[in-house]
């Protein structure tokens, strides 16, 4: 992790840092939409439309510790919390979802590290905890780009996010 710290310090407040932060932010958005689309396509074959959407929304919020802003989702989550977690664990056994979850967590961790300047910020620590609870593997830079260069890694995450989003936009029913 030391090399990530070095890169973060080196980026300072440069325009390069802004580019890295923007790329990671966009990648997180694309990954969220791609994962939502992939889950919806799966669940719509099993459940009705409303239930499928509520489940997808609850899963995305659960993955990233986002508060459930809508009452309907809050109610769904309060009744189905265990089911939501079980579904994530089940999805994570599928290679397609497992990879997408891993990249989402990697992007979030790098984003938080870059924006806060800390390798593991408070929010970053909570995200790591959540990944452990849900048995989601967080890849390192070697897993993602084959080297220890964070910039290459950010590029690979962005590329993966683009591909996932394009694929799910084509498949979305």
Partner 1 sequence: MANVGLVKKRSQFTRPPLAEMSSKKKVLGKIKKEMRALGVNI
- The verdict on 113 binding partner 1 (CB under 8 A) reads no
User: In the complex with partner 1, which residue's Cβ is closer, 66 or 86?
Assistant: 66
The correct pick among 57, 101, 103, 141 for binding partner 1 (CB under 8 A) is 57
Count CB neighbours of 124 within 10 A: 19
130 binds partner 1 (CB under 8 A): no
Task: Say whether residue 36 binds partner 1 (CB under 8 A).
Answer: yes
Q: What is the smallest separation between the CB atom of 72 and partner 1, expressed in angstroms? A: 8
Contact 44, 64 (CB under 8 A): no
Tell me the closest approach of the beta carbon of residue 16 to partner 1, in angstroms: 26
The tokens for 20 are: 């890295």
Positions touching partner 1 (CB under 8 A) are 29, 32-33, 36-37, 40, 53-54, 56-57, 60-61, 66, 68-70, 72-73, 165-166, 169-170, 172
């Amino acid at each position: 992790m030391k090399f990530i710290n070095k890169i973060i310090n080196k980026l300072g407040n440069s325009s390069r840092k802004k580019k890295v932060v923007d790329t990671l932010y966009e990648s997180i958005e694309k990954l969220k939409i791609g994962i939502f689309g992939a889950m919806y396509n799966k669940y719509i074959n099993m459940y009705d439309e409303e239930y499928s959407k509520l489940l997808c929304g609850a899963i995305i919020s659960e993955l990233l510790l986002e508060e459930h802003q809508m009452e309907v989702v809050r109610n769904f989550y309060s009744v189905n919390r265990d089911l939501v977690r079980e579904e994530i664990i089940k999805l994570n056994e599928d290679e397609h979802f497992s990879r997408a979850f891993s990249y989402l967590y990697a992007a979030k961790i790098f984003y938080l590290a870059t924006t806060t300047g800390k390798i593991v910020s408070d929010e970053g620590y909570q995200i790591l905890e959540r990944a452990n609870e849900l048995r989601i593997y967080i890849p390192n830079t070697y897993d993602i780009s084959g080297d220890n260069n964070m910039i290459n890694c950010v590029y690979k995450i962005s590329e993966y996010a683009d591909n996932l989003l394009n694929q799910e936009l084509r498949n979305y029913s």
